Amino acid sequence: MFDKFREECGVFAIHGHSEASNLAYLGLYALQHRGQESAGIASTDGRGIYCYKSMGHVADIFTPTVLAGLPGDLAIGHTRYSTAGDTALLNAQPFSVACNKGKIAVAHNGNITNAAELRRELERDGSIFQASSDTEVVLHLVARSRERTLAGALREALMQLEGAFSLVFLAEDRIIVARDPHGFRPLAFGQMERPNRRMAYVFASETCAFDLINATYLGDIQPGEMVIVGPEGMTREQYTVPREPARCVFEHVYFSRPDSIVFGRAVQQSREALGRLLAIEAPAAGADVVVPVPDSGVAAALGFAEESDIPFRHALMRNHYVGRTFIEPSQAIRDFGVKLKLNPVRHLLEGKRVVLVDDSIVRGTTSRKIVRMVRQAGAREVHMRISCPPTIAPCYYGVDTPSERELIAANNTVEETRKFIEADSLGYLSLGALREAVDDHRDEYCYACYTGNYPTELVNIEELRTAKGRR
């Protein structure tokens, strides 16, 4: 299994299109990289909310028969990797309930850092939870609210949440979306033309979902903003005052697809800039070839090669059809998992001084296996270059990072890490260069995983740390 950060989740919502569930399927298909554990779609035709979700990949879950059972011109969707809550169908989203505010469904990208406290309070007051996901807390807060309208209940619920959240809600006549006041997780909105020439509204974690369905990207939901799309049209409001911006910089380093626009900036542009600046800060003089660790290292490797004037080669081939391995390899075949996913192109590596470009080193175990693989393919030297700073702290805002004791950079110097991965040299991008690459001149990104300085007060930090340690 690859030693990588896990993608978070992807959300999608559409209002006002007769093919809403089919378009939601396509949107989730484009967002599959953000979570491969489960996926779900909820739709409405005004008479009820229909929901289907299952474990697995989007294309395997949603057959034509399943999609035919999701009628209506409003739909929301979710693709999941668990960052809070167990890996189980019970935690698959969207969650759908009937309560005193009517029938509603919700899907969430992020991590509500005070969910445990809120859940304990709700349980003391009689709430019964069905899942272990932090998202279910939101539904209970809405159901308990004394506000008469769904929008009013949501405002009240959102004001009680801490942490990172981009939320999409479905009611029988409207869609409501909201983003946390720091803007941790992305949430874009756009429009697409309907058969009757009226416009449908679309929301998604990344704009690559818009490209697939021919929707036009219009901008981002703002931090602390709630958008309501109903029979009366679209209304936008600040449900709370935006706080210190804290966009997740790892969206540009790794998570998002390079063909997406995230936080208003092209991801491919950021990643090529990461590579160019990495070549300036950590050059590999005398190297013969620049090789990306696919797929997330490709754009940065292009920038590195261009800046260094060193040939770029796809010398590691990725098998895109490999899921989770069905056996746990023994020590004797400990490289089995990596070899299933990557295979070297020997004639491009033999006798060469190779620069390997990757987006991160987490535990270091996979980096070591890749370095060994490249040497076994005949490389004379292997120089590892990483397009971000050393990761020294876990994330509590919707990214599944290991605990601090498992992060190699948190417990070792760069030289010690180099020795562990068995590279001839190791170079990281500096924090200043990372800021430059994403054009962060107004200090709008979260760099907590590189600094240990968290942008919010984590009142249950020990509980969160314990949860990280159990994974």
pLDDT digit string, tens, across residues 129-175: 877 788 889 999 998 899 989 999 999 999 999 999 999 999 999 99
Average pLDDT across the chain, whole number = 90
Strand 163-171 with 102-112, pairing: antiparallel
What burial class does residue 413 get, using C-beta atoms within 10 Å of its C-beta: 0-12 exposed, 13-18 middle, 19+ buried? exposed
Range 9-243 classified under CATH 3.60.20.10: yes
pLDDT band at 439 (very low <50, low <70, confident <90, very high): very high
Q: Could you give the 3-state DSSP secondary structure of residue 367?
A: helix
Residue 256 has pLDDT above 70, yes or no: yes
d(CA 382, CA 373): 10
**Catalytic positions:** 9
- Determine what percent of the chain is predicted with pLDDT higher than 70: 90
Name which residue leads in pLDDT, 314 or 460.
314
Cα–Cα distances in angstroms (integers) from residue 28 to residues 23, 44, 63, 74, 431, in the given order: 9, 18, 14, 15, 33
Q: Is 127 left (phi over 0), alpha (psi -120 to 50) or beta?
A: beta
Q: How confident is the model at residue 198 (pLDDT cuts 50, 70, 90)?
A: confident
Is the model's pLDDT at 471 over the cut of 70? no
- Percentage of residues of the chain with pLDDT beyond 90: 76
Pairing of strands 289-292, 353-358: parallel
Q: Is the pLDDT of residue 341 over 80?
A: yes
Choose among 39, 45, 54: nearest CA to 19.
Answer: 45
- pLDDT score of 84 more than 80: no
349-376 pLDDT tens trace: 999 999 999 999 999 999 999 999 999 9
Q: Of 349, 364, 345, which is closest to residue 426 (Cα–Cα)?
A: 364
- pLDDT tens-digit map of 259-306: 999 999 999 999 999 999 999 999 999 999 999 999 889 999 999 999
Average pLDDT over residues 210-228: 97
Sheet strand arrangement including 102-112? 95-99, 102-112, 163-171, 175-179, 225-230, 233-238
The whole-number pLDDT of residue 399 equals 76
The pLDDT of residue 331: 46
pTM above 0.85, yes or no: yes
Burial class of residue 27, CB neighbours in 10 A (0-12, 13-18, 19+): buried
Q: What is the pLDDT of residues 171-189, one digit of tens each?
A: 999 999 999 999 999 999 9
Average pLDDT over residues 80-90: 62
pLDDT (average), residues 423-452? 97
- CB neighbour list of residue 98: distance below 8 Å, 6 or more residues apart: none
Helices 115-124, 135-144: crossing angle, 10 deg rounding: 40
- CATH fold label, 262-470: Rossmann fold (3.40.50)
What pLDDT is stored for residue 332 in this prediction? 47
- Segments making up each domain of the chain, as ranges: 9-243, 262-470
Helices (H), 288-343: 298-308, 336-341
Given a cut of 90, whether residue 456 has pLDDT beyond it is no
Which amino acid appears at position 66 of this protein? Answer: V
pLDDT score at 329 = 44
Contact 145, 152 (CB under 8 A): yes
Q: Is the pLDDT of residue 336 over 90?
A: no
